[in-house]
Structure 1
Amino acid sequence: MITFLRSLFNSRIGLIVSFVFIVLVAISFAGADITGSMGSGSALGGSTVAEVGKHDISTEELSMRVNNQLDVQRRQMPGIDMTSFVNAGGFEDTLEQMINVRALEEFARSVGLGVSKRLVDGEIASIPAFNGPNGQFDRTTFLSVLAQRKVTEKQLRDDISADLFTRQMLVPVAGASRVPAAIARPYAALTLESRSGLVGFVPSAAMARGNPPTQAELDAYYKQNAARYTVPERRVIRYAPFGKAMLADKAKPTEAEIAAAYKADAAKYAASETRNLTQVILQDQNAARAFEAKVKAGTSFAAAAQQAGLEPATLAAQDRAKLTDLASKAVADAAFSAAQGAVTAPQRSGLGWHVVRVDAIQTIPAKSLDSVRAEITATLAKQKLDAAVADLAAKIEDAIADGATFDEVVKANGLQAVSTPPITSAGVDPDSPNFRPDPAFIRLIEPAFDAAVDDDPMVETIAQGEQYALSDVERIVPAAPRPLAQIRDQVVKAFELERASRQAKAIADAIVAKASKGVPLAQAISEAGVKLPAPESIGGRRMELTAGGQRVPPPLALLFSMVEKRTKRLEAPGKQGWFIVYLDKITPGDIASQPQLVASLQAEMTRVTGQEYVSQFANAAKAELGVKRNEKAAATLKRQLAGTDSVQ
């Protein structure tokens, strides 16, 4: 359920470092509502779950971190909710991570390590979410992103500082973990080991059904397994979309606006002229006059330039303004006063003396209002529509800031409100499996699950500059088990399956007892008193079982953890029955057949050893500083997060 989270914790340094990673992921992916204190109180009271040295970890801070971890996990598993996350161990993992980080940070400070403001600044500047339009760090963007995510600059800096402290401690520790080849060699031989045996199966379905459960039995079973039947927290979300579609009619430009735009851009639509020119630039005025005279006397422009040791330059489609910028006003005036084919008298610019030949003249007639009406209308409509959407969004946000309610804003602005049924954070209605939310609404679910009922309505972006929505949490339905009356048949089946599983276990135990006394497994199974399938052969080479990262069947995994000539039982998934595994023979591996395995396993063992060094170093730091845990406060918070506080 939390593979991604556990893979982070189980990396070489990830077990200890770095809850700052969670904050940065939340920022980068527009993630969770990160709120809360970074620690409060000094006594190990009800608001503190752990005390690490002189640093307290409050329930508020832990709750914040758990929510942030869940948000990151949702990137890998969109359907996961808080109840599933907590039940899968996410709560304990997060608390342990926080304790480790705080212990290492305090220990680093105690031995004189430091983290400068400049180093923290560098880490912040390297976060892409804080880059401006030019791709570089932009403080305005930085502050805006933090404000959107409700993260203070101090919180972010404290987290980055803690991360840097722990890395200073742990990178050298993890790096000193090289495992000698002599240690890796016997493990390499173990990967080549082969095993063979038998597996039998006692299915729960083969057991007698028995009497229906009594009401008392059913009540007790339901209470013990309440988490199994718990519906995750659900929320009723109201939203009112608005954007360009609803404002299009109001953004049509009037005739007066079209005429005013035409007049404002009169120069753009006026008749214009461009010229194709050829020029040379000389540094001396007399030389320029001589060049002009030679060309006017009959020498070609190109030949005269070659004789002067120059290369003429061609200037295509020049207008007067462009040539003025390129050369000077005097050069442009002369070029645009000359007739086609004429050569101008030398004119000066910052580059020297220009002699220009007019090669061609293109005259562009003026454009009438009617000829550009469609172009102007489209441009004005877009400008007005963009402004109208921005103005409406600002108007709504201002109204919310002034205390207006969702209903008041909807009424004042003529919006159409929609209410969802109670849905989970995955957008699912457990009471109506066919419910499918509006695709545009999906973007509103995550921020709505980070808000509270009494929070102000929010303006959320659906498509930047195009569509927005006013969103509000109308009601929260806490996570709770479904009433037994609604799922009675389901609970009865589960009760009967568990009872059958216990009966199957008793039979499996009897078979194991016989096989352990030397009775062949096939005979012990046939004498079980219940018709069971005959045992089958299993086995293989250890290294082949996990090739390609495939999942090893549980009976086969058990076979490779047993002693030769022994028999063990193993529960099948979903209480479907019990496997009985017998290990007949172990064939040792020979590393001479695959010597490259030693180096490969040596590298893997070095990585694992680095993890252990890091873990033990963290344990030593905790022992040095002292860690006190408030188990009662932690258990209460866990129940609250999982939504099981009301289940007695």
Structure 2
Amino acid sequence: MISFFRKALSSWLVLGLLGLIMIAFIITGVSNRGLGEGEVRAGGTTIATIGRQKVGSLELQQRVQAAFRRAQQDQNGLTMAQFINGGGFEQVVETMLAGTAVEQFGRKQGLTASRRMVDGEIASIPGFRGLTGQFDENAMRAVLREQGITEQQLRQDVASDGVRRQLLVPINAASHVPGSLVLPYASLLLEERQGWVGIVPAAAMAGGDAPSQQEIDAWYRAHQAAYTVPERRVMRYAVVGTEQVAEQARPTEAELAAAYKAAAASYAPAEKRDITQIVADSEAKAQAFAAAIKAGTPFEKAAAAARLTPSRVAAKTKAELTDLASPDVANAVFGAAKGGVTAPARSAFGWHVARVDAIAQIAGRTLDQVRGELTAKLAAEKTRTLITEAAQKIDDGIEKGANFDELLRAQKLVAVTTPALTANGDAPDQPDYQVPADVRPLLPRAFDMTADDDPVVATIVPSERFAVLAVTSVVPAAARPLAQVRDKVVADIIADRGQKRARAVAEAIAAKAGGGQTLAAAFAAAPVKLGVPLRAGGRRADLTQQGKPVPPPLQLLFSLAPGQARVLAAPGNQGWFVVKLDSIKPGDARSMPSLVEATRGQFSRVVGDEYVSQFANAARAALGMKVDTAAIARLKGELAGGAAQP
């Protein structure tokens, strides 16, 4: 229920405003350049002016296309026209204008983002991490190249996002909801309902006479979209991956020797220790614990008496323990004998007292002994570098005007041409075609391109595999001729008849059940043989736990009054549910403070979201905003191919 209220407000807008810039770039590739006042952001014609800041149509186009790509990942086969007509375009416009207003308002108040903050944000972006889990400049360059973004643009965008967050994060967090508002909603989660659910399947209804030609023609005209093949792309691509650079990536003996020398400490003889420790928040507690051990109390028993939790740390060298805790702790542990207990030693976490459980001597390893793992590590590093360099060379060739075939000849690559594919990889003209693993990641990028666009470098696996990609032709969406889909049309007409008859039967049953008859009796008296209704119900909290979707019939059960019966369409036109509510047992959350606090947290987020939304509106009003609705409508129509209504 709380999720309904969140959706009813502006959570999508708030997520757009508060979302970190790394999400926008690494997932969507949206460009939000932090330009000076008076410049048109991202170019194109001016669609809005906020204060003295102009917002351009190109930026809006980039944002809509990026949002569309995200939506396609969740809904295969989604077209741009469907996305726009579903409201996606307006959401992008609203988020873009609100974000610009908040940023400009913040800068007007003197807020800035330091270079150190920008560096930190960039280094923390997950998509920029290499195999070691640390920031990798090559990984960053690969991602930016994939998105067509320069490092300077990234820095500008991180700074812009930093300004917005300085304003919006405190506003979002400054929300408190009183208990008088929270308790009734928390109690609703404990409300218990019981009722019945039955189904009238469309398949149980007779199909009737075969459809006439006139009926077939009328149905086909009215439902042409159902028989339309989506827009398709014919792609040419050539892959560069580990197999193309394997020979060059093989480490030389000199490289292996140098890497072994650089990591000599890792391969030298070492001593490792297993310990059990407690960490106290004061020296006095640690001293008292150590005194209890010295007096003969077992370690675990002394920890329980002091209300301290022992933890085990296994197989650590002195250097590793120093990094994990502190030099004082490491010195104490490695100065004790096996079975001994250390004196209290301090770290940033508190005061440690440790028992040495085991001591292991690790023999050193020669270059020959580590040759295999060192070879694999160096080969992986060289492979990433070589692939990044190859992508950069192709990028340079594209910038110099080389066409697809010239790019492939320069890199000695072989092109592959696909059939005409839909956005989800189907090939309607070749039903047996199986989309290769390398092609599927390229589809979103291909559907952002036209046959007139230059080739692009498209990532398949970051830092490991990419493709040179071109679109050779775009096949517009078109309905299949009636002759090709006649059997399907006839089947759909018959199924529709059954669905309509099933609804009439279901509504008659619901009328009887709502008039006082049991649902089981109403089903038994139906003109066709139906199954027996099933008992259904439970508490709201139980039905919604663990984020599982609640079946639609149960959702309907929680909107009815006792004795009331309603009809609900079953998924996929399979028939109609009939739902009847028998009883309601009210909930009382006063005995469950944890539930009340959880509900308060959800409401606080709703209130915080509303604060952010209202602040964005106030920023726009304070700066003054002029919007060219005609220019926005034109772009909307162009993106939808004329399918969207301005």
Report TM bin, short chain: 0.5 to 0.7
**Matching of residue 115 in structure 1 with residue 112 in structure 2:** yes
Counterpart of 2:111, as a letter, is G
SS of 2:429 mapped into structure 1? coil
* CA deviation after TM superposition for structure 1 residue 492, in Å: 3.4
Range moving further from structure 2, 622-631 or 591-600: 622-631
User: What pairs with 1:172-571 in structure 2 (closer than 5 Å)?
Assistant: 172-213=170-211, 218=216, 221-222=219-220, 224-240=222-238, 403-407=401-405, 416-440=414-438, 444-445=442-443, 447-458=445-456, 470-571=468-569
User: What pairs with 1:74-89 in structure 2 (closer than 5 Å)?
Assistant: 82=80, 85-86=83-84, 89=87
Partner of residue 581, structure 1: 579
Cα deviations by residue, 1:106-158 (Å, 9 ceiling, x for unpaired): 55456x35325547745654454678999998999978865653235675455
8 A Cα contact 2:143 2:462, kept in partner: no
Counterpart of 2:180, as a letter, is A
* CA deviation after TM superposition for structure 1 residue 96, in Å: 2.9
SS of 1:586 mapped into structure 2? strand
* CA deviation after TM superposition for structure 1 residue 643, in Å: 5.5
8 A Cα contact 1:508 1:578, kept in partner: yes
Partner of residue 3, structure 1: none
* CA deviation after TM superposition for structure 1 residue 554, in Å: 1.0
**Matching of residue 97 in structure 1 with residue 95 in structure 2:** yes
Distance 2:165 2:248 in 1: 58
Cα deviations by residue, 1:608-630 (Å, 9 ceiling, x for unpaired): 33223333444455566677777
Structure 1 residues 506 and 108, CA, compared in 2 at 3 Å: closer, same or farther? farther
* CA deviation after TM superposition for structure 1 residue 535, in Å: 3.2
Range moving further from structure 2, 408-417 or 530-539: 408-417
* CA deviation after TM superposition for structure 1 residue 480, in Å: 4.1
**Structure (1 or 2) with the larger CA radius of gyration:** 1
Distance 1:521 1:471 in 2: 60
Gaps of 5+ in 1: 1-5, 252-260, 263-384
State percent identity of aligned pairs. 42
Range moving further from structure 2, 541-550 or 477-486: 477-486
Structure 1 residues 249 and 10, CA, compared in 2 at 3 Å: closer, same or farther? same
8 A Cα contact 2:182 2:600, kept in partner: yes
Range moving further from structure 2, 454-463 or 533-542: 454-463
Cα deviations by residue, 1:581-606 (Å, 9 ceiling, x for unpaired): 22221111244654442233223322
Cα deviations by residue, 1:433-488 (Å, 9 ceiling, x for unpaired): 43234445556555444443223334667799998754432112234444444333
8 A Cα contact 2:138 2:463, kept in partner: no
Distance 1:159 1:390 in 2: 24
Structure 1 residues 32 and 616, CA, compared in 2 at 3 Å: closer, same or farther? closer
SS of 1:15 mapped into structure 2? helix
* CA deviation after TM superposition for structure 1 residue 243, in Å: 8.3
SS of 2:14 mapped into structure 1? coil
Structure 1 residues 79 and 533, CA, compared in 2 at 3 Å: closer, same or farther? same
Distance 1:115 1:250 in 2: 46
SS of 1:65 mapped into structure 2? helix
**What is the alpha-carbon root mean square deviation over aligned residues?**
5.3
Aligned with residue 149 of structure 2, among 131, 148, 151: 151
Structure 1 residues 168 and 571, CA, compared in 2 at 3 Å: closer, same or farther? same
8 A Cα contact 1:512 1:568, kept in partner: yes
Range moving further from structure 2, 413-422 or 13-22: 13-22
Distance 2:631 2:490 in 1: 35
Distance 1:157 1:389 in 2: 25
SS of 2:432 mapped into structure 1? coil
Partner of residue 16, structure 1: 14
Distance 1:55 1:440 in 2: 42
Counterpart of 2:91, as a letter, is D
SS of 1:552 mapped into structure 2? coil
Counterpart of 2:554, as a letter, is L
Q: Structure 2-normalised TM-score?
A: 0.62
Cα deviations by residue, 1:152-180 (Å, 9 ceiling, x for unpaired): 56754554454334323322322222222
Structure 1 residues 489 and 639, CA, compared in 2 at 3 Å: closer, same or farther? farther
Range moving further from structure 2, 60-69 or 622-631: 622-631
Partner of residue 597, structure 1: 595
Counterpart of 2:604, as a letter, is T
Structure 1 residues 569 and 240, CA, compared in 2 at 3 Å: closer, same or farther? closer
SS of 1:487 mapped into structure 2? helix
Counterpart of 2:191, as a letter, is E
SS of 1:453 mapped into structure 2? coil
Partner of residue 59, structure 2: 61
Distance 1:534 1:40 in 2: 70
* CA deviation after TM superposition for structure 1 residue 544, in Å: 1.3
Distance 2:476 2:111 in 1: 45
SS of 1:614 mapped into structure 2? helix
SS of 1:558 mapped into structure 2? helix
Partner of residue 356, structure 1: none
Cα deviations by residue, 1:308-361 (Å, 9 ceiling, x for unpaired): xxxxxxxxxxxxxxxxxxxxxxxxxxxxxxxxxxxxxxxxxxxxxxxxxxxxxx
User: What pairs with 1:624-643 in structure 2 (closer than 5 Å)?
Assistant: 637-638=635-636, 640-642=638-640
* CA deviation after TM superposition for structure 1 residue 564, in Å: 2.2
Across the two proteins, how many residue pairs are aligned to each other?
511
8 A Cα contact 2:81 2:644, kept in partner: no
Distance 1:423 1:230 in 2: 14
SS of 1:431 mapped into structure 2? coil
Gaps of 5+ in 2: 255-382
Structure 1 residues 646 and 93, CA, compared in 2 at 3 Å: closer, same or farther? closer
Q: Structure 1-normalised TM-score?
A: 0.62
8 A Cα contact 1:113 1:165, kept in partner: no
* CA deviation after TM superposition for structure 1 residue 238, in Å: 1.9
Counterpart of 1:556, as a letter, is L
Distance 2:133 2:245 in 1: 34
Distance 1:612 1:531 in 2: 52
SS of 1:235 mapped into structure 2? strand
Counterpart of 1:500, as a letter, is G
Counterpart of 2:14, as a letter, is I
Distance 2:171 2:526 in 1: 56
SS of 2:606 mapped into structure 1? helix
Counterpart of 2:203, as a letter, is A
Structure 1 residues 432 and 594, CA, compared in 2 at 3 Å: closer, same or farther? same
Structure 1 residues 572 and 603, CA, compared in 2 at 3 Å: closer, same or farther? same
Distance 2:224 2:627 in 1: 27
Range moving further from structure 2, 183-192 or 627-636: 627-636
8 A Cα contact 1:22 1:69, kept in partner: no
8 A Cα contact 2:236 2:472, kept in partner: yes
* CA deviation after TM superposition for structure 1 residue 187, in Å: 2.4
* CA deviation after TM superposition for structure 1 residue 387, in Å: 13
Counterpart of 2:200, as a letter, is V
Distance 1:63 1:521 in 2: 54
8 A Cα contact 1:9 1:16, kept in partner: no
